[in-house]
């Protein structure tokens, strides 16, 4: 036991468990990495677009030893034009996870609390824990957010409410009118004392009629932060780029705690190119929509319950999830156990290419029938 002093709330943190890398599974089981499929981390199975690859290849030859633009001027300008907001309403992050941490760092301490839903993204819990703040975890409703209960849970010391829409790992979605009504209720009851962070990492996977104009909400609510990422639909998970939209008072706080140079040169370039590639985004959406149907119909054919998803993954109830996950790993199929999210009988399966989805279903059928 080490004698190194550390706050109790830090020692109590259970570190984030990422999806198992292909190379690690290959080493553990003596498998050929080329034969392994990874459907664990909600990555885009297409990777990034050809335009992004070409831009990165050209830029790599001109790299120099200088730091990236610390303020991301060109990327912010492109995002400001896309969302029709001033550039100083934007904060860049090393992925949207970085922005969740920045919000907690700017707003929480040991004398405050944060509200989040059961089965919501684990980083909400970790970020709250890291600040030593009080956890107000609200029981889920049909695997998703119970906004009425979350509103009732807001306490006098609450400074931050996390909402994931769609939610990870359950794939549930809240309609625009419901979210907006929640924002109005928070403002009516608590003014601007309570900040709502709306995490829209999977927004691009929503059907068009499900999408809401959260940018308009940012204009209306000074206590709202909306976060987005380039890691999912844009296929830039390896480069780590996210951004937050908020009015200047909140953006100023986020930038006070943001690390300098937190988004690299190539990441900023890739995000600018990806943002302008509408064809690739449309292809990603169509592939995901078909793959989601393929998986959900496949799970139904196996007699498995699943949560209807609005994202690029499906939460499926398999029973002995730990054992079944182990058997899938032996067959070279990586999915995501979610026992740490309070779902010990479920696995979260990212949507892959059609042939990857089919292989997952075949492997799962073999395990279940063994």
Tell the CATH topology of 64-277. Answer: 3.40.640
- For residue 370, the model assigns a pLDDT of 77
Q: In what order do the strands lie in the sheet with 113-117?
A: 90-93, 242-245, 224-229, 195-199, 158-164, 113-117, 134-138
> Strands 346-350 and 336-337, how do they pair?
antiparallel
Instruction: State the pLDDT confidence band at 65, using cuts at 50, 70 and 90.
Output: confident
Supply 199's token pair: 């995490």
Domain ranges (residues) in the chain: 8-48+279-369, 64-277
C-alpha of 77 from chain center: 24
C-alpha of 120 from chain center: 10
Higher pLDDT, 324 or 8: 324
- For residue 20, the model assigns a pLDDT of 75
Instruction: State the pLDDT confidence band at 14, using cuts at 50, 70 and 90.
Output: low
- For residue 17, the model assigns a pLDDT of 66
Q: Does domain 8-48+279-369 have CATH number 3.90.1150.10?
A: yes
- For residue 16, the model assigns a pLDDT of 59
CB 200 within 8 A of CB 176: no
Average pLDDT, rounded, for the chain: 94
Range with the poorest average pLDDT among 2-6, 23-27, 134-138, 253-257:
2-6
- For residue 342, the model assigns a pLDDT of 93
Q: Please report where in the chains the tokens 């609390």 appear, as a residue.
A: 113
Q: Report pLDDT digits (tens) over 18-38.
A: 667 888 888 988 889 999 999
Q: Report pLDDT digits (tens) over 156-207.
A: 999 999 999 999 999 999 999 999 999 999 999 999 999 999 999 999 999 9
Q: Please report where in the chains the tokens 């949560």 appear, as a residue.
A: 307
Q: Is 133 exposed, middle or buried (0-12, 13-18, 19+ CB in 10 A)?
A: buried
Q: Indicate if the pLDDT at residue 12 is higher than 80.
A: no
């Amino acid at each position: 036991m080490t004698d190194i002093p550390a706050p109790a709330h830090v020692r109590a943190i259970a570190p984030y468990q990422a999806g198992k890398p292909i190379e690690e599974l290959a080493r553990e089981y003596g498998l050929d990495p080329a034969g392994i499929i990874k459907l664990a981390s909600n990555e885009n199975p297409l990777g990034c677009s050809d335009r992004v690859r070409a831009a990165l290849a050209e830029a790599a030859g001109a790299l120099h030893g200088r730091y990236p633009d610390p303020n991301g001027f060109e990327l912010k300008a492109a995002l400001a034009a896309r969302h029709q907001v001033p550039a100083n309403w934007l904060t860049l992050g090393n992925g949207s996870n970085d922005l969740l941490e920045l919000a907690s760092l700017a707003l929480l301490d040991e004398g405050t609390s944060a509200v989040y839903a059961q089965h919501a993204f684990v980083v909400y819990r970790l970020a709250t824990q890291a600040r030593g703040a009080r956890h107000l975890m609200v029981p889920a409703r049909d695997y998703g957010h119970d906004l009425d209960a979350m509103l009732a849970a807001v306490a006098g010391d609450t400074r931050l409410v996390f909402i994931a829409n769609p939610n990870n790992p359950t794939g549930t979605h809240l309609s625009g009118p419901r979210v907006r009504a929640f924002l109005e209720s928070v403002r009516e009851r608590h003014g601007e004392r309570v900040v709502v962070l709306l995490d829209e990492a999977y927004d691009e996977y929503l059907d068009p009629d499900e999408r809401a104009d959260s940018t308009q909400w940012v204009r209306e609510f000074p206590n709202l932060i909306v976060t987005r990422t380039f890691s999912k639909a844009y296929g830039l998970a390896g480069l780590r780029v996210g951004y937050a939209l908020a009015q200047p008072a909140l953006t100023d706080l986020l930038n006070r705690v943001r690390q300098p140079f937190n988004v690299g040169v190539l990441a900023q370039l890739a995000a600018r190119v990806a943002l302008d590639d509408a064809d690739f985004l449309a292809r990603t959406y169509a592939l995901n929509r078909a793959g989601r149907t393929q998986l959900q119909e496949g799970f139904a054919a196996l007699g498995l319950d699943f949560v209807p998803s609005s994202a690029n993954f499906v939460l499926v109830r398999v029973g002995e999830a730990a054992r079944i996950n182990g058997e899938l790993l032996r067959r070279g199929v990586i999915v995501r156990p979610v026992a740490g999210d309070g779902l010990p009988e479920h696995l979260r399966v990212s949507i892959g290419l059609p042939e990857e989805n089919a292989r997952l279903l075949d492997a799962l059928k073999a395990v279940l029938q063994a």
